């Protein structure tokens, strides 16, 4: 894990399968994928993105920029427009106004092309292919990078074998990376909840993304699994993938992210380092209404794990 980040005391108790991916696995995978240049040059940017549903303004002029190798957290109370913003970034919605760009180019309109351009995502409610095996789920993720046309699929020639072997090889590495190597032939629906979340991440990584969007990756997880997910996200960043995370768990966000964005009622309220955001009275107010001192103290201690009331 990253030495700069304060490690919670749960680290030592992690069972082997929940620990951060072993270095050799990361090294092998990093060779296949691109490695971060660490330039922090902006990759994914949005300028003045608004989204209106009927009379409801779900997003209002949201402008943000994600640098290469950065982990950005997106927090906000329920209904703040976080998932809507994600959907705008991934082409599921096209914004009413404003623009999303990837490496300076406008983002394509349809989700498949967005993925091909290098933006992958997971879903808030797990959306695996439940009756495919873990391996097959990851192979579907490879779809967009495989060079295998219908004719090749039909004839199963030597080129087919090569592309299939490559895809299997990468899928195996990815499953090992998220700690699911032993479950490769298990049906996705039979995996425990936390493992399903990690399989979804492996599937998204299989598309060779340069940006990974995680929608509540630790929802429903216990403290150990949450810690394991944190380690995993650091490892993903080390592979050269920039990450945006939506989370309710503020402690998780503040110990994970380089920058945190607070979205309230479709507006970008505060943006800054975890420390800046943690100390901002407007954030506390947005989360909890009027700020009684003791609640503020709780936020500082990072004890609040829920988004709280609107």
Partner 1 sequence: MSATTEAPPAAVAAPAPPRHTGRLAGLMNAVAPRARLVAIVGGILAIVGSQLPWATFVLNEGAYPELATLPLGFTGFRLHLVVLGLATIVVAVLRVPAVHRIVRALGIGATAVAVINGLYITAEGGGLGAITASDGAVAFGAVVALIGGVLIILAGAAGGVEPRPELDWALPLWIEWILLVVIFVLMLLVVAAGLTSGGQGGVVNPYSGAVFLSFLGAAGGAFAALNASGLLGYVATLSERHRVFSVIVLLVVALGLPLTSAGTEYWMTVASNIGVYAATAIGLNIVVGLAGLLDLGYVAFLGIGAFVAANLSGAAASTIGIHLPFLLVMVISAVVAGIFGAIVGSPTLRVRGDYLAIVTLAFGEIFVRSAQNNIGGLTGGANAIPNIPAVAVGGFKFNDSITIGALRLPSGVMYYVLIVLLVAGVMLVFGNLKNSRLGRAWIAIREDEDAAAAMGIRTGPIKILAFLLGAMLAGLAGAFFAHKTGVVAYDSFRFLESVTLLAAVILGGMGTIPGAVLGASILFVLPEKLREFSDYRLLIFGLALVLIMRFRPQGIVADKHRKAELAEIPEDAAKEGPGPLPTSVAP
> Which stretches of the chain bind partner 1, using CB under 8 A?
51, 53, 56, 58, 78-84, 87, 90, 92, 110-113, 115-116, 120-121, 123-132, 136, 139-144, 146, 148, 150, 152-156, 160, 163-164, 167, 187, 189-193, 196, 203, 207, 216, 219-220
26 vs 260, which CB is nearer to partner 1?
260
Instruction: Return d(Cα 46, Cα 89) in angstroms, integer.
Output: 8
207 vs 242, which CB is nearer to partner 1?
207
User: In the beta sheet, which residues pair with residue 246?
Assistant: 74, 215
Least distance in angstroms from the C-beta of 23 to partner 1: 28
Q: Calculate helix-pair angle for 158-177, 193-205, nearest 10 degrees.
A: 130
Least distance in angstroms from the C-beta of 127 to partner 1: 4
26 vs 128, which CB is nearer to partner 1?
128
26 vs 134, which CB is nearer to partner 1?
134
137 vs 242, which CB is nearer to partner 1?
137
Least distance in angstroms from the C-beta of 1 to partner 1: 26
238 vs 249, which CB is nearer to partner 1?
249
Alpha carbons within 13 A on the beta-carbon side of 51: 24
The distance of Cα 253 from the centroid of its chain, to the nearest Å, equals: 12
Instruction: Return d(Cα 217, Cα 125) in angstroms, integer.
Output: 10
Least distance in angstroms from the C-beta of 294 to partner 1: 27
Tokens coding 140:
């579907």
5 vs 124, which CB is nearer to partner 1?
124
Least distance in angstroms from the C-beta of 287 to partner 1: 15
Alpha carbons within 13 A on the beta-carbon side of 27: 3
Full DSSP string of 71-111:
EEEEE-STTSSHHHHHHHHTTSS--SEEEEEETTEEPPSSH
Least distance in angstroms from the C-beta of 200 to partner 1: 9
- Pick from 102, 183, 89: which is nearest to 137 by CA? 183
Largest CA distance in the chain: 70
Q: Which residues contact 109 (CB under 8 A, 6 or more apart)?
A: 91, 94
Least distance in angstroms from the C-beta of 115 to partner 1: 4
Rg (CA), the chain: 20
Instruction: Return d(Cα 305, Cα 247) in angstroms, integer.
Output: 10
- Pick from 12, 4, 81, 8: which is nearest to 46 by CA? 81
154 vs 290, which CB is nearer to partner 1?
154
Least distance in angstroms from the C-beta of 214 to partner 1: 13
């Amino acid at each position: 894990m990253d030495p700069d980040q304060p490690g919670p005391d749960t680290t030592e108790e992690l069972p082997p399968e929940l620990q951060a991916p072993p270095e050799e696995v990361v090294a092998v995978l990093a060779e296949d994928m691109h490695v971060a240049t660490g330039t922090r040059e902006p990759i994914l940017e949005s300028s003045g993105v608004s989204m209106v549903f009927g009379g409801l303004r779900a997003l209002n002029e949201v402008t943000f920029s994600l640098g290469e190798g950065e982990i950005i957290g997106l927090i906000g109370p329920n209904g703040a427009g976080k998932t809507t913003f994600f959907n705008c970034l991934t082409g599921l919605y096209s914004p009413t106004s404003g623009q999303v760009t990837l490496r300076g180019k406008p983002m394509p309109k349809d989700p498949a092309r967005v993925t091909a351009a290098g933006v992958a995502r997971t879903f808030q409610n797990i959306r695996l292919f439940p009756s495919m095996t873990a391996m097959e789920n990851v192979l579907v993720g490879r779809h967009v990078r495989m060079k295998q046309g219908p004719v090749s699929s039909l004839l199963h020639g030597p080129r087919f074998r090569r592309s299939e072997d490559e895809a299997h090889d990468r899928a195996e590495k990815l499953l090992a990376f998220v700690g699911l190597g032993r479950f490769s032939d298990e049906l996705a629906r039979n995996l425990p909840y936390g493992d399903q979340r990690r399989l979804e991440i492996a599937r998204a990584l299989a598309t060779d993304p340069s940006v990974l969007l995680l929608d509540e990756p630790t929802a429903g997880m216990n403290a150990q699994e949450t810690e394991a997910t944190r380690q995993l996200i650091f490892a993903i960043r080390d592979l050269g993938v920039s990450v945006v995370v939506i989370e309710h768990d503020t402690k998780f966000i503040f110990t994970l992210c380089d920058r945190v964005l607070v979205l309230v009622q479709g507006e970008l309220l505060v943006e800054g380092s975890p420390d800046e955001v943690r100390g901002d009275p407007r954030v506390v107010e947005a989360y909890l209404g009027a700020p009684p001192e003791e609640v503020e103290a709780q936020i500082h201690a990072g004890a609040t794990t829920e988004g709280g009331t609107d």
